Amino acid sequence: QVKPQLEEKEGKTFDVFTAVEFKTQVVAGTNYFIKVHIGNDDFMHLRVFRSLPHENKPLSLHSYQSSKAKHDELAYF
């Protein structure tokens, strides 16, 4: 659901976009920290926010880190 948001921010499309790991953080909603394989040996870390159910808002890409590798630890940011 956040792939189009990332593609818009990066100004490119991703042929490969596969989540390989994630962590969560409960706030006034939930932050998801997701390691995404984007092809070859390239990865990105995404921070996605899901609001509380009664707010009825879509998932939003809060921030991301590019130039990551498979072995890079997925950490809160």
CATH number, position 54: 3.10.450.10
Separation CA 37–CA 32 (nearest Å) = 16
Separation CA 40–CA 72 (nearest Å) = 15
| Structure confidence by residue, pLDDT tens digits, 2-61 | 999 999 999 999 999 999 999 999 999 999 999 999 999 999 999 999 999 899 899 999
Q: Is 74 a member of any domain?
A: no
20 lies in which domain range?
A: 3-69
Amino acid letter, 62: H
Number of domain units in the chain: 1
Q: What are the start-end ranges of the E strands in the chain?
A: 18-27, 29-39, 42-50, 60-68
Give me the pLDDT at residue 76, please. Answer: 87
Q: Is 30 a member of any domain?
A: yes
Give me the pLDDT at residue 38, please. Answer: 94
Which alpha helices (DSSP H) does 1-77 contain, by range? 3-10
Confidence bin at 73 (pLDDT 50/70/90): very high
pTM, 2 dp: 0.86
pLDDT > 90? residue 1? no
pLDDT > 90? residue 65? yes
